[in-house]
Amino acid sequence: MQDSPNIASQIVFEDNHLLIINKNVGQLVQGDKTGDASLLDLIKDFIKKRDQKPGNVFLGLVHRIDRPTSGLVIYAKTSKALTRLTQMVKNREIKKTYWAVVAKEIIPQSQRLVHYLLKNEKTNKSTVFIKPTEKAKEAALNYKILKSLDNFQLLEIDLETGRHHQIRAQLSKIGVAIKGDLKYGSSRSNPDGGIHLHARRLEFIHPVTKENLVVVAPVPQNDSVWAACEIDN
């Protein structure tokens, strides 16, 4: 886990209303039962020290990404921004684009995937159904192949819904598990315990200024596969 001084290098956008961070693999977006330090706490601590704030720092998590993934996460710095952004997430007004490095199997160049996902709370895993199933939620995404690598391929994914482990489960269902994702069928783990799924881009209307915001997160550094993905993209 990173110390708070390194938080500064992870911030990709910040103003008086919100802060967007490029999460590292393994970082928690907010506290959980593990008791490990979370980005929510680290950022609060960082802002308190940097801005020399005497009282508590307000910071609210707008949406989550899984611990083994990397990429963009939005935090709200005011209650007004948090309320508006949370509503925007519900209304699907925040466009989320992911990059995923997957097995080099033959799949269509681009495709819209619609499945039905049922989350198992005990195993923390989603089961994928092709047809509507009781208690399963509809999950939809669009992908396109961006690049062919030596042993893998890079997909760009636009999410229509935000289900539990959605991208991981849906890609696994069509036979292209994400690199390092043992839970969903990858043959080998990554050395850092993460998976090659990166929240690459966010686009939305700023909840207060009403400007159109587009934020892009660099891929994880010190990883040769990710480095190969970013060339020419």
**3 state SS of 48:** helix
- The answer to whether 73 touches 39, Cβ cutoff 8 Å, is yes
Burial class of residue 178, CB neighbours in 10 A (0-12, 13-18, 19+): buried
- CA distances (Å), origin 165, targets 65, 146, 155, 214, 225: 9, 22, 16, 24, 22
48: amino acid identity, one letter:
K
Can you give the length of the chain in residues? 233
Nearest to 182 by CA among 196, 166, 202: 196
Q: Residue for token digits 């994914």?
A: 157
3-state secondary structure of 87: helix
> Which sequence positions are flagged as catalytic?
66
Please list, residue by residue across 56-76, b when 16 or more beta carbons sit within 10 angstroms of its beta carbon and e when fewer do. Answer: eeebbbbbebbbbbbbbbbbb
How far apart (Å, rounded) are the C-alpha atoms in residues 181 and 168? 8
Q: Are strands 152-159 and 137-148 parallel, antiparallel or unpaired?
A: antiparallel
